[in-house]
Amino acid sequence: MKYTEDHEWLRAEGGLVTVGITAHASEQLGDVVFVDLPEAGRAVSTGDEVCVIESVKAASDIRAPLDGEIVEVNADLADNPGMVNEDPTGKAWFFRMKVADMSALDGLMDEAAYKALIG
């Protein structure tokens, strides 16, 4: 997995990249009560706001970590946003995207660098 400074994780799988938030981010948010997911088929650029997560503490934006196209969203989160707290790096992925340049993943943090970031 790769990580962003915005506490997103990315997992390359079969030519697609699955994106979610880290356990650290989930813990900081507290109980997640709503997730506003993007539309499949949407073209995004790095840094574009693509999702909004609302918790009992705050609302947070999820930004596109790379250039590409959203090809699938995790509709289960609409019915069960608490999955983000229960399994943030597994079943609670947010979206899958076709990335314009897979080598862009090389510029993101690995697990050791992310753990150093969060201290």
pLDDT by residue (tens digit) across 68-117?
999 999 999 999 999 999 999 999 999 999 999 999 999 999 999 999 99
The verdict on residue 118 lying in a domain is no
Which residue type sits at 78? Answer: A
Residue 85 covered by a domain: yes
Domain count within the chain:
1
The whole-angstrom separation of Cα 67 and Cα 71 is 13
The answer to whether 78 touches 32, Cβ cutoff 8 Å, is no
Per residue in 22-35, pLDDT (tens digit) is: 999 999 999 999 99
Q: Does residue 109 form part of some domain? A: no
Name beta bridge partners: 54.
34, 59
